[in-house]
Amino acid sequence: MKKTLLASVLIGLGLTAVHAHAADNELNLYSARHYQTDEALYQDFTKQTGIKINRIEAKEDELLERIRNEGANSPADVFITVDASRLAKADELGIFAPVKSKVLEERIPAHLRTDNWFSYSTRARLIVYNKETVKPEQVQTYASLASPELKGKVCTRSGSHPYNISLGAALINHEGAEKTEKWARDLVANFARTPKGGDTDQIKAVAAGECGVAIANSYYLARLMNSTKEEDKAVVAKVGAVWPNQKTWGTHINISGAGMLKHAPNKAAAVKFLEYLASDSAQKYFADGNNEWPVVQSVKVTNPALEALGDFKADTLPVGDLAKTAAEAQRIYDRAGFR
């Protein structure tokens, strides 16, 4: 009866059903990663282990609320999403269980993991500029985006988006809250338009000359670089990219990550899945499938766009620390009018 009721609720929500009872050869995954290329990742895990993945996909807040409501009866084994602050928020809710794994400790750098959740891929917050109107030496740091010489030239997505909040959280850690707030106010003063759209929209606006510079996650640019569409090739031809803060603390990075749920009915399968995500084959899927960098340093990247973007100095701030200043970053943005 309970299982029938659960299935009815899931169907009513328009979500894929998962099995409520434990099974040695199944894994129940709650995913807020919305990339079609992940299908190959999951299929490879099943092929290697024989463990079937039952998946529910939805937005982070919806999934977290669902896990909290399900409580000890939750069928969820693993929660996977993007953005360190979102994972930290999930951790604060007490939904994760600590995982002790020699494989994960050896393969994932210490600053990219916590006791309860692990990073599996990274994406960088880079600066994209119009080659005709802005020189790369003008935008070598995040601070330069607030320079008076870029008045009316900056485009970005909403300040309430986790990618920008994460950048603000990193700036607070490195520069302090006072400097970060001044930066945010000056950044807003430089806007070419009210923040709107996603990162791809910002890159296209730069190419079209609507903006001189934009902040964007690296994988959006890499996606355009790998595209065979003529319109995307035209966009790429008009823009350049800069890795900010190479002479100081490095370019800000964010992550995709996952953790095992506290009430996971299939804990052995959950650990196998978390370890699989750090395997060479899975790490290559992140790079080739979604233009993200592997966290395992020994994995060689063969993605043409990532290779073309080249090596860079990445910020090594522990991902768990970003969440500590995320709320403050949002308050700073609100006061600065970065919405």
Which residues are known binding-site members for Fe cation?
34, 219-220
Distance CA 288, CA 305 (A): 10
Instruction: Identify the CA nearest to 282 among candidates 25, 90, 46, 24.
Output: 46
Please, are residues 147 and 157 in contact by the beta-carbon 8 Å criterion? Answer: no
User: Which residues contribute to the annotated binding site?
Assistant: 34, 219-220
How far, rounded to the nearest angstrom, does the alpha carbon of residue 160 sit from its chain's CA centroid? 15
For tokens 């031809």, name the residue. Answer: 237
Residue 36 carries which DSSP code? T
Distance CA 223, CA 200 (A): 9
**What DSSP line would sit under 67-127, residue for residue?**
HHHHGGG----EEEEE-HHHHHHHHHTT-B-----HHHHHHS-GGGB-SS-EEEEEEEEEE
Find the length of the chain: 339
Distance CA 64, CA 71 (A): 11
Please, are residues 120 and 255 in contact by the beta-carbon 8 Å criterion? Answer: yes
Q: Which positions ≥6 away from 156 have C-beta within 8 Å?
A: 164, 187, 191, 195, 202, 214, 215
**What DSSP line would sit under 111-162, residue for residue?**
GGB-SS-EEEEEEEEEEEEETTT--GGGGSSSGGGGSGGGTT-EE---TTSH
- Structure-token pair, residue 153: 């030239």
